[in-house]
Structures are given as structure tokens and as C-alpha cells.
Structure 1
Amino acid sequence: MGVQLESFATFNVAIVVLAAGQWLNRRVPLLSAYNIPEPVSSGLLVCVLLALVHGIWGLEVSFNLATRDFLLLYFFAAIGLNADVRTLLAGGRPLALLVALTAAYVVLQNLTGLGVASLLGLNPLVGLLGGSVSLLGGHGTAIAWAPRFAETHGIANAMEIAIACATLGLVLASLVGGPIARFLIGRHKLKPRGRAREELERQGDEGAEVAAIDGSSFLQTLFWLNMSLAAGELLYELLQASGSNLPRFVCSLFGAILITNIVPRLLPVIPWPAESRSLALVSEVSLGIFLTMSLMSLQLWTIAELAGPILAILLAQFLIASLFTVFVVFLVMGRDYEAAVICSGFGGFALGATPTAIANMTSVAKRYGPAHRAFIVVPLVSGFFVDIINAVVIQRFLTLFG
């Protein structure tokens, strides 16, 4: 026996569930302490309740998710519109080093997942779902790639596996970054250098002022997002014609990057939405509703038999991330206080997401002192370069092992 909500009803239910997640995160300190995203808080609660309904009464509630994929395209296009080449180059040598380390770690994380899954007698691609697809990629990337694992590679419960790994990864990411920085700072007796924390905070406050949202700026943002999606669709069709098969959301990301680095230079008089509040709002709402719709529609009973293997894969990933951060990232990034703070951020996005990385670094900086370089390079890598590197590596692994 089953009930399906149509697309319009699903969209409105997702809005209510997202609002519930915001309320839960304000009311339950543990959720905010571990930086659990609002859609995850309420979306998982709903899917657990629906699993209980299925288990007790045999009623299966499902949702029409036609709106979901469009929201994902908006989110990745918003990332691309903020990716000005001049800003990316401002990170200099530390940025280049961290990008290279991240690329190496993406490969290592996927090899770890594939290896553990193979040892447990599972389809090796289950390990890929427990690798950079869900951990370094986070919920957005996990949900974006999971349908391909299900439709092309025959892993029917790919979405549930990916979301379970991404959610537990957030908790692990929150646990690994701070302790690693504390260990490195204490072991090597590290201290911050440069300007005082008060000066950094004052400059941050002064630099944070952006234009307020009005009807005109909001419409401009929607227009350029739509142009990015159009460019992404053109790129997608060209790649399809040439035999390549990148997902649409990656093409939307590239399309937005091309537009934001060409149009403002050719037509400098046009107001541009990059770094604007309107773009941030569209991005936040799109991702929030997208994640909520995806999470509340999970069918948890389909992965009950994989609970043990998933935990085994995540334990291995936790150990590998910790060792790589302490013995490789810290060494390459300079073995100083800044490197220790970067390590706390790397642990955050290697297993979780950019907000977790920033939360880890902020906690360390509040206790030990400012780390200017870390707060420049880590957000650039985790918020932009990770998505491009991850898409290329995942595609390559699917070609080799799919």
C-alpha cells in the first residue's frame, strides 16, 4: 500500500520541513554544536518517521521530486558566479598546494572506499559512494551523483547509502578538525603570527558590507543564473555529442564560471550578482529545499542490511583522513600555526562540508589566535575547487571500475 505526493505538494511539504529544521537547530544545542545543516535535522527526522510508518503499518509514502534537480542546478550555478579568476589567484602558493593536496586526497579517499567495500564482498562502487561522492562532496554531490549509480550501475539503494555516509561524515568532520589542531599546536608549540585578532575582526566587519536585496537585484540574479543554466545545458549537449557524460550540475557550474569571468569584463557597466546577498539567498534556499526534498524521501529500510559495511567504510575513512591531515597536509602547508589551522579546516571538508571546515577553524582561532592565510585558502578550496576536482575524479573512477 502506498501514497505518492505530487510535485507541487512535495515542494510545499519541503518548505514546511525546512522551516522545522531551522526551528530544531535553534532549540537543540547538539545539532548546532555539530554543525548539522537544517535540512538534515528535519529531513532525516521525517524519513525516520516514514520508515516507522512503513515498518508498523506497511504504508509507503513517496514524493514526486521533479522540482529537485532544477534547484540543484541553481545552487551550483551560484557557486560558479562567485568564482572570479582574480579572487582564486589571490590565494597564491598556499592555495595551489592545498588544491594539489585535495586532488591527491580525493583519489586516496576513493581508493579507501573501494578497498574496504571489496574486502567486505560488496560491489566496489558502494565504496565509491562512501568515498568522495558523499564525504568530501557532501550531501549536494551525493544526491547529484546517486541516481547515476542506481540507473547505470545497478545499485538500487545508492541514494540511501550516499546520504547515510554524508550525514555521518558531518559528525566525524566536526570531531576530527579541532582535536587535530590542538594536537599539532601542543606538540610543536605553535603560536600565531601577524596582526592581532581585533584588527582581523574589524577588517572582516568592514569588508562584509554588501548591497541589500531589492526587486531589481533579485531579478538580475535570477537572470544570470538562468543564463548560466542555459550555458551549462549547451555545454552538456556538446559533451554528450562528443561521447562525454558529465552530470548537468557540473556543466551548470562550468557555464556560470565562464559567464562570470567573461561578461563583467566585456560589459563592466552591468551590475553583477557575484558575492551579493540576493545570490547568496537564492543559493541557500535552493540547496536547503533540494536537500530537504531528497532527505525526507529516503527509504531507510532499503539499506538496513548494509549498516555494518557502511560503518566499516566510514571508520576507515576517518582514520585515513586523520593520518593524511597530520602527516601530509601539516607538513606540506609549512608546519606552522597557520598549517595547524588549515589542518582543522581540511579535516572538516574532507569528511563533511565547507561550513564544518569554517566552524572547525573558527573554534581553533578563537582559542589560539587569528590565522589569516587559513581563512583565505580553505574556503576557496572547499567552496570551489573541490567540486571540479571531485567531478573529474568520480567520472574517472566510474570509467575504470563501473
Structure 2
Amino acid sequence: MQIELSQVHTLFLAVAVLMFGLYLIKKITFLNKFCIPAPVVGGFLFAILVFILRGLNIIEISLDTSLQSLFMLLFFTSVGLGASFSLLWQGGKILVIYWLICGGIAFFQNTIAVLLAKVFDLHPLQGLMAGAPSLEGGHGGAAAFGETIEAMGIDSAITIGLAAATLGLIAGGITGGPVAKYLINKHNLKPDPSILNQQSASAADDPAKPITTNLIMQQIFLLTFCISLGVILSGYFSDLTDFVLPDYVGAMFVAVLVRNIIDRFKKPVYDQRSVSLIGDVALGIFLSMALMSIQLWEIANLALPILVIVVIQVIFMVLLAIFVGFRLLGKDFDAAVMMGGMTGHGLGATPNAMANMDAITKQFGPSPKAFLVIPIVGAFLVDALYIPIVVGFINYFS
């Protein structure tokens, strides 16, 4: 028996799967502890159900995920609109060093993945999906770059990427705290006494500006403008250079320019809360669709290679944090806390990094510098380095 779901029914199912994932995260401590995203929980469970039903020759379900690209574009554009150049100056030299380290992570993650792909007789681009696209890029990067690679005729790219991203997310949550604790204890590090009484700013005292229909429509206008122009520019760039530039990359960089033009002229047309809400909803639906539609039967013979590659990536990340990143960032308490965060988002996602650092600072003391640098780099600036590196690898091995 075959069931073909339409675009509308697939969208409804994606939202339902997302809501189910949110419910499970609230009920199951393990999922909440390791910051497993709701779309991953619900989407993978649905994919497993489809796999079982297909394997038992009961029902074969096909989905119309044509809206997936739109939600992907909305999410990455919302990230771009959230990036103000003025934030760069607040982190200073440490922010730049940390940012460059993240670029190095992307290069070496891709190199490790491609080299191990040869060992397991996989296509280099299949192996690449167990590198920076899925680890430093997280589930969003895995789904986005996986879609680009599959469009080039490489099978199972999304499936491999999402599997690697999930394994990396769990590993980042498990290893980040112990790495920071090891560094703090070994070097007997303490937080800077001058910041112990500076825990919070007073900026949140003002009443929140209400989110209205007009405000939401204004943000949707900004998002769709950036998407439209970004898609056009990506197409022109690819035609002129024969260098594949995904649409969402062009949209994101247009959004960065638009945001900083707005900041430059001090026009009150951008609202961070509204854009963040739209971006969060878009990411949830986009990932739900991506995870729902993965075909697990295609990855059965790739399970061992993916697991081995991710394990090697975890070992690399831990060693890099302890012996390289910690030293480059000053070998102090802030550097140790940042290594817990770097392990989290280098293998998984920025929320993973924040969760790691929260646990560390609750036990050992505050680190405002870490909580400034990690979100700025992990949530956006890392994309400015890791995305061109990944795109370069894709074009080289295509």
C-alpha cells in the first residue's frame, strides 16, 4: 500500500511532528539534558516508523517536501539579519582569535571526513557530510548542504549529514563540560574577581515593545526582500564563476548587509524578537521536513563508516580544545569556559555550547566574556568562515 501526501498534508505533518518532539523533550530528561532539538526527536521517530512500515511491506509513505527550501531560506536569512558588525568590536581580540579557530575546525573536520571516506570507499562528498556541514553546521547545515549535494547526484547526503549531526550533538553535550572542568582543575583557574559582582545588565528593565501585526509584516518584508535579492545574486554568481553558491548563502549575506545598513542609518525598521521568532519557527518546520523524509534504508550500509568518522571527529575536537584552543585564547578561566562551549557548538550547535557553559559557570563562577563571544561566533560569524570552506570542498570534489 502506498500513501502519497500532498504539500499541504506534509506541512501539517511536519508541524505535528515538531509539536510531538517538543512534548517528548519536556517529558524525557535525557533529551532535554543533551539539548536534542525537537525536530530531530519527532522527525527521526517518524522516519523510523516509515522505515519499519516499509520493511514489513505494510505501507510506503512518500512526502511532498517542496516547501522545505522556503523555510530553510527564511531561517538562514533571519540569522543574517541578526548579525550586527558593532557586536564584533565588543569581543575584541579574543573574539577574532576564537572565530579563526572555528575556521580551522571547519577545514580539518572536512579533511578528516574526506580522507576517511576514501578508507570506507565512499564518495568524498558523502564523507564530507560527516564533517563541518553537519558538525560545525549542525542539523541546519546538514539539511541545507545535503540538499545541495543530492542535487548534484550524490545519494544519501542529507541522511548521512543528519545522522552525523545528531551523533555530534550528543557528543558535544557529553564532552564539553568535562573538557572545561579538566582545564580548570588542572590549571587551578578562577574567574576574574572584578566581574564577580557584574552578573547582569539593566537593559531588560524597560517594558517590552509589543509585537504587532504591522511589526511582523515589516520583518517579513525585510526577510523576503533579502531572500529574493540573495537568490538572484547566488544565481548570477554561480553562472559567472561556475562555483556553486547555495541560495540560502546569498540570502544570508544580503541580510547581513541590509541589517548593517539599517544600523548605519539608525532606522527603526528591524525587530530582533520578531525575526528570531520567525526564524525559530522556520528552522523547526524545515528540520522536521528534512528529518521526516530521510530514507533510513539507504543508510543501513553506511552506519559503521558514519560512526567511525564521528568518533574520530570527537577525539580531534577534544584534543584541539585542550592543546590548541585553550592556549591560543590565553590559558585563563575564560578560555577554559570557552573550550567547553567550543566543543559544544563545534560538534553540535550553539544551544549545546550555551548549555555546557551554563553548567560550568554555575559550578566554578561567571565568565561574561565567554557568554559574549560564543553566541556571536557560534550563531553567525562562524558561518562566514565555515560556509565558504564547505562550498570550496564541494566544488573541489564535485
Same fold (TM over 0.5): yes
Query: Equivalents in 2 of 1:210, 1:194: separation in Å?
Result: 33
Shift of the 73–340 alpha-carbon distance from structure 1 to 2, 3 Å rule, reads: same
Q: Which residue of 2 aligns with 1:212?
A: 210
TM-score w.r.t. structure 1 length? 0.95
Query: Equivalents in 1 of 2:196, 2:75: separation in Å?
Result: 33
Residue type at the aligned position of 2:394:
L
Q: Is the partner of 1:90 in helix, strand or coil?
A: helix
Query: Equivalents in 2 of 1:329, 1:105: separation in Å?
Result: 10
Contact 1:354–1:383 under 8 Å retained in 2: yes
Q: Which residue of 1 aligns with 2:192?
A: 193
Contact 1:250–1:388 under 8 Å retained in 2: no
Query: Equivalents in 1 of 2:167, 2:79: separation in Å?
Result: 24
TM-score w.r.t. structure 2 length? 0.96
Q: Which residue of 2 aligns with 1:235?
A: 233
Please report how far the alpha carbon of residue 261 of structure 1 lies from its aligned counterpart in structure 2 after TM superposition.
1.1
Residue deviations 1:44-65, cap 9 Å, x none? Answer: 1111111111111253211101
Please report how far the alpha carbon of residue 196 of structure 1 lies from its aligned counterpart in structure 2 after TM superposition.
5.1
Query: Equivalents in 1 of 2:142, 2:338: separation in Å?
Result: 25
Query: Equivalents in 2 of 1:159, 1:340: separation in Å?
Result: 34
Q: Is the partner of 1:78 in helix, strand or coil?
A: helix
2:326 aligned with 1:337: no
Contact 1:74–1:286 under 8 Å retained in 2: yes
Residue deviations 1:171-196, cap 9 Å, x none? Answer: 00101100000100111011111445
Residue type at the aligned position of 2:66:
A
Of stretches 236-245 and 207-216 in structure 1, the one that deviates more from structure 2 is 207-216
Please report how far the alpha carbon of residue 18 of structure 1 lies from its aligned counterpart in structure 2 after TM superposition.
0.8
Of stretches 241-250 and 103-112 in structure 1, the one that deviates more from structure 2 is 241-250
Aligned residue runs from structure 1 range 222-301, under 5 A: 222-243=220-241, 244-266=243-265, 268-273=266-271, 275=272, 277-301=273-297
Of stretches 339-348 and 11-20 in structure 1, the one that deviates more from structure 2 is 11-20
Aligned residue runs from structure 1 range 9-28, under 5 A: 9-28=9-28
Q: Which residue of 2 aligns with 1:97?
A: 97
Residue type at the aligned position of 1:191:
K
Q: Which residue of 1 aligns with 2:369?
A: 373
Shift of the 371–214 alpha-carbon distance from structure 1 to 2, 3 Å rule, reads: same
Please report how far the alpha carbon of residue 6 of structure 1 lies from its aligned counterpart in structure 2 after TM superposition.
0.9
Please report how far the alpha carbon of residue 158 of structure 1 lies from its aligned counterpart in structure 2 after TM superposition.
1.2
Q: Which residue of 2 aligns with 1:386?
A: 382
Q: Which residue of 1 aligns with 2:158?
A: 159
Of stretches 57-66 and 16-25 in structure 1, the one that deviates more from structure 2 is 57-66
Shift of the 100–208 alpha-carbon distance from structure 1 to 2, 3 Å rule, reads: farther
Give the percent of matched residue pairs that are identical in Structure 1 and Structure 2: 35
Shift of the 283–29 alpha-carbon distance from structure 1 to 2, 3 Å rule, reads: same
Query: Equivalents in 2 of 1:205, 1:178: separation in Å?
Result: 29
Contact 1:14–1:292 under 8 Å retained in 2: yes
Contact 2:244–2:395 under 8 Å retained in 1: no
Please report how far the alpha carbon of residue 149 of structure 1 lies from its aligned counterpart in structure 2 after TM superposition.
1.9
Q: Is the partner of 1:57 in helix, strand or coil?
A: coil
Residue type at the aligned position of 2:81:
L
Please report how far the alpha carbon of residue 254 of structure 1 lies from its aligned counterpart in structure 2 after TM superposition.
0.4
CA RMSD across the alignment: 1.6
Size of the alignment, in residue pairs?
Answer: 397
Please report how far the alpha carbon of residue 311 of structure 1 lies from its aligned counterpart in structure 2 after TM superposition.
0.7
Q: Is the partner of 2:56 in helix, strand or coil?
A: helix
Give unmatched runs, 5+ long, in structure 1.
none
Shift of the 238–66 alpha-carbon distance from structure 1 to 2, 3 Å rule, reads: same
Query: Equivalents in 2 of 1:226, 1:372: separation in Å?
Result: 35
